[in-house]
Amino acid sequence: MAKFKGAVVIDEERCKGCNICVATCPFKVLALQKKEVNNKGYHYAYMENPDACTGCTSCGTVCPDACIEVYRAKID
Amino acid sequence: MEVNDIIKPENLVYHKPALLKDCTMHYCPGCSHSTVHKIVCEVIEEMGATEYAIGVAPVGCAVFAYNYIDVDMSEAAHGRAPAVATAIKRLQPDKLVFTYQGDGDLAAIGTCETIHAANRGENITIIFINNAIYGMTGGQMAPTTLLGQKTATTPYGRRVDLNGYPLAISNLLAQLDGTCFVTRQSVHSPAAVRKAKAAIRKAFENSMARKGTSVVEIIGTCNSGWKLSPVDANNWMEEHMFEKYPIGDLKNV
Ligand SMILES: Cc1ncc(C[n+]2csc(CCOP(=O)(O)OP(=O)(O)O)c2C)c(N)n1
Ligand code: SF4
Ligand code: SF4
Ligand code: SF4
Ligand SMILES: [Mg+2]
């Protein structure tokens, strides 16, 4: 069976730190910055555990503010 | 494989719809209005309807919907979106005409316009965001507020003897001969978002096929008004809102 590896690009300035993507990711890839904030003052989301991303698009689908681009590549 | 090998244009599988403008939406973090705006844009793009879609924005938190959804839009007086949409669709029957309304807008001040537009079977789509509260004005009780739910005007919880019962207005609309499709959806999980998108698509197609009025109710959160975090609000919604407002089609003819 083909396997996939994914990665996300988060628009840090658009992100409002709502944590919905973090709670939704089935592979615990995402987290909110603990100290860093964006220009709006939000602790934005980032890939804390990038190796676990499968590119399933769950985070992008639920992100209210459309901050997340998801990429997926086949690995054999 | 390194992250940089994956992040290439040919591997892109999810992105912001182009119809959602780049400006930041004014909604609170995690607000369901944002998610619904996003999927409305996706559906219009996927249908290739950008040039012939016309939306009508409400009064409520979504009052600035026209600043975010990049199609022709009109703003209606509070609750009057179905009347404005009626006029637009009758004058331009080839357009895809939809309203976007909150529960205060649709089920309180606009009850009359909503019921009569649906009863006339206007060929429009009504997208109805039910967050069981008046979000914009500071979290007052709405007709849809649950029994026991605390709001600014029901600080000890909604009581039947004082405030009456929560209004499941989509069930009423489903009774009317003018409606062809009435459904209740949500946007709190990836599967729910996909189903809500499919429902909006079906409603839009009904409107273009002039089958009558389609209503897509989306049970949403107002985490600020509910005084919960966005994630807790989604959980509260699943636990409490779906009992009174079950997800699924109410009518599909
Ligand atoms: C004629 C009129 N009456 C009252 C108001 C005050 N008002 C503004 S928004 C609103 C209710 C909004 O609630 P809802 O439609 O549920 O939208 P939400 O903000 O929850 O999305 C009210 C009562 C108004 N703007 N105009
Ligand atoms: S694409 Fe899937 S696995 Fe990757 S971060 Fe998003 S939700 Fe997690
Ligand atoms: S869901 Fe979107 S806005 Fe919320 S934390 Fe994640 S990236 Fe940021
Ligand atoms: S007040 Fe409620 S409905 Fe309005 S933007 Fe904030 S969370 Fe959304
Ligand atoms: Mg409301």
Q: What is the predicted ipTM?
A: 0.96
Token pair listed for B131 = 């967050």
For chain A, how many residues are written?
Answer: 76
pLDDT at residue A2 greater than cutoff 90: no
The string of pLDDT tens digits covering residues A34-49 is: 999 999 999 999 999 9
CA distance B185 to B37: 14
Q: Is A25 in the pocket of ligand 3 (CB under 6 A)?
A: no
Interface test with B, best of A71, A72, A74, A76 (most B CBs within 10 A): A71
Interface test with B, best of A42, A62, A68 (most B CBs within 10 A): A62
pLDDT at residue B219 greater than cutoff 90: yes
Mean pLDDT for B162-173 is: 98
Identify the pLDDT of residue B1: 83
Q: How confident is the model at residue B218 (pLDDT cuts 50, 70, 90)?
A: very high
CA distance B33 to A48: 28
> Among candidates B127, B107, B100, B123, which has minimal Cα distance to B172?
B107
Q: How many domains does chain A have?
A: 1
Question: Which is it for strands B213-219 and B179-186: parallel, antiparallel or unpaired?
Answer: parallel
The string of pLDDT tens digits covering residues B150-163 is: 999 999 999 999 99
CATH at A34: 3.30.70.20
DSSP label of A41: S
Mean pLDDT for B17-35 is: 98
Are B34 and B131 in contact by the 8 Å Cβ rule? The answer is: no
**Residue nearest ligand 2's atom 3 by CA:** A53
Are B252 and B191 in contact by the 8 Å Cβ rule? The answer is: no
Of all residues in chain B, the percent with pLDDT exceeding 90 is: 99
Average pLDDT, chain B: 98
Domain extent at residue A15: 3-75
Average pLDDT, chain A: 96
Which domains, from first to last, does chain B contain? 3-20+28-252 (3.40.50.970)
Q: Is A70 in the pocket of ligand 3 (CB under 6 A)?
A: no
Identify the pLDDT of residue A76: 73
Token pair listed for B181 = 């499709």
Helix (H, G, I), strand (E, B) or coil at A39: coil
Mean pLDDT for B178-189 is: 98
Mean pLDDT for A28-38 is: 98
**Which residues are A68's β-sheet partners?**
A10
Distance B96 CA to ligand 3 centre (A): 31
- Residue A64 at interface with chain B, using a CB cutoff of 8 Å: yes
CA distance A11 to B13: 16
Mean pLDDT for B110-120 is: 98
What distance in Å separates residue B185's CA from the closest CA in chain A? Answer: 14
Largest Cα–Cα separation, chain A: 44
Residues 6 or more apart in contact with residue B201 via CB below 8 angstroms: B43, B46, B47
Helix axes B81-91, B111-120, angle to 10 degrees: 30
User: In the structure, which protein residues have their CB atom closer than 6 angstroms to any atom of ligand 2?
Assistant: A 6, 8, 25, 27, 29-30, 53-59, 70
Question: CB B161: neighbour CB atoms within 10 A?
Answer: 5
Identify the pLDDT of residue A1: 63
**Residue nearest ligand 4's atom 7 by CA:** B222
Residues 6 or more apart in contact with residue B220 via CB below 8 angstroms: B31, B32, B33, B35, B36, B129, B130, B131, B186, B187, B237
- Residue B38 at interface with chain A, using a CB cutoff of 8 Å: yes
Identify the pLDDT of residue B31: 98
Mean pLDDT for B239-249 is: 98
Identify the pLDDT of residue B91: 98
> Among candidates B144, B151, B109, B169, which has minimal Cα distance to B220?
B144
